[in-house]
Amino acid sequence: MRTIEVKARLLGVAFYFGLAGFVTPSRLGASDTRVRHHHRQALGVFVFLFALLAVECVLLGLDSCLGVFHRVIYESGPNAVIDGMQILLVGAGVLAWASGLSLACCNSSRSLPGIARLMRRERLLRLARIGCIVLVLGTLVLGGLALHSSVITRNDGPGDAYMLYDDMGCVPRWVFCLGFYRISLAARERWGAESVVVALLTQQTLREALGSGRFVFVASHGYWGMVASGQIAVAPFDGIVRESVGERLAFVYITACEGGFKAAAWEEALRPAKVITFNRLSAVVEHIYWLWFSGASAVRAVPETDRDSGLACYLRSMIDDE
């Protein structure tokens, strides 16, 4: 009897971690009514979570569009309202999931308020099963990519391709490694296995990136033409910028909001590199899109320096002589 109760609890807990999408109690040979209850309740919770996720995506798109195209309206109040709504939605989702999980741990057959109605919608539960499968498989794939992207990048240089980031004191490094993944693969293919560096934005890493890098992506906040983070605040005319630029620097992407207010100064300071800045509020979504769908092409388009050409000729001559 004790073994059956423990099994029921473990199955109930597993359902809230996505198992509900892959199996049913009947396939597991579980006849306990509490197991069946938590299977349906877990699917009901996932219906609720997917609905919240859809609303979150709409709010994120609205927030990005207002910030980029209608800044005056955005800063007059909607940004604070949208941020508050997003926090409430996240809180509601966490509360619903944690409550269901707690009831499963206690082997309780109580129903969550509101979720009980969703548990009676068979079509929604079938969609939730599909969503659970996609969610679990997607999480595994993203986890693998995050692990690989962290392994193939270095914490310090010198290197050829750099991502310098502001972690805001809470965002883990693997998030930025994952965002830089396609660029990392392209850079390794072109410049070698040790060519990619993903590091926190500081004065030291900025000097190093501008001095030895060819491709530099600066993921930071900004204002009035400056790059700003928790570690550094830099303008294009500062010595740390002008004195650090190396002969190999060919491409610099700066995400900072209002960085383009001093676009000409940045281009002058980082010459002859191609420089991308934004003379408005910039959205995280557009930078993620660029990293995954345009960044690798930008790496491949980086021209060779005279030093690179000379080295390539030397290596070809060595091979011909052999």
**Quick one: pLDDT band at residue 30, thresholds 50, 70, 90?**
low
**pLDDT score for 183:** 98
Q: Is the pLDDT of residue 1 over 90?
A: no
**pLDDT score for 29:** 64
Q: What is the pLDDT of residues 109-163, one digit of tens each?
A: 899 998 999 998 999 999 999 999 999 999 999 999 999 999 999 999 899 999 9
Residue 297 shares a structural domain with residue 166? yes
| Ordered strands of the 221-223 beta sheet | 221-223, 226-228, 233-234
**pLDDT score for 25:** 80
**pLDDT score for 311:** 42
In degrees rounded to 5, what are phi and psi of residue 222? -175, 170
CATH at 240: 3.40.50
Q: Is the pLDDT of residue 320 over 50?
A: no
What mean pLDDT is predicted for residues 77-102?
A: 94
Residue 203 shares a structural domain with residue 236? yes
Residue 217 shares a structural domain with residue 112? no
Q: Which two tokens stand for residue 320?
A: 């011909």
Residue 13 shares a structural domain with residue 134? yes
Residue 111 shares a structural domain with residue 223? no
Q: Which two tokens stand for residue 256?
A: 């900072």
- Domain final residue, candidates 112, 143, 174: 143
**pLDDT score for 242:** 85
Residue 202 shares a structural domain with residue 104? no
Q: What is the pLDDT of residues 241-282, one digit of tens each?
A: 988 999 999 999 999 999 999 999 999 999 999 999 999 999
- Domain final residue, candidates 108, 143, 178: 143
Residue 118 shares a structural domain with residue 200? no
- Domain final residue, candidates 123, 143, 163: 143
Residue 136 shares a structural domain with residue 212? no
Residue 138 shares a structural domain with residue 170? no
**pLDDT score for 77:** 82
* Long-range contacts of residues 88-94, Cβ cutoff 8 Å, at least 24 apart: 89/52, 89/55, 89/56, 89/59, 90/52, 90/56, 92/52, 93/48, 93/49, 93/52, 93/53
What mean pLDDT is predicted for residues 23-43?
A: 84
Q: What is the pLDDT of residues 91-115, one digit of tens each?
A: 999 999 999 999 999 989 899 998 9
Residue 122 shares a structural domain with residue 174? no
Q: What is the pLDDT of residues 273-309, one digit of tens each?
A: 999 999 999 999 999 999 999 999 999 999 986 555 4
Range of the domain at 174: 152-318
Residue 100 shares a structural domain with residue 12? yes
Total domain count for the chain? 2
Q: Any idea which of 145-149, 233-237, 317-321 has the lowest mean pLDDT?
A: 317-321
Q: Which of 319, 276, 298 is nearest to 183 (CA)?
A: 298
Can you tell me whether residue 275 is helix, strand or coil? strand
**Quick one: pLDDT band at residue 231, thresholds 50, 70, 90?**
confident
Residue 109 shares a structural domain with residue 47? yes
Q: Is the pLDDT of residue 315 over 70?
A: no
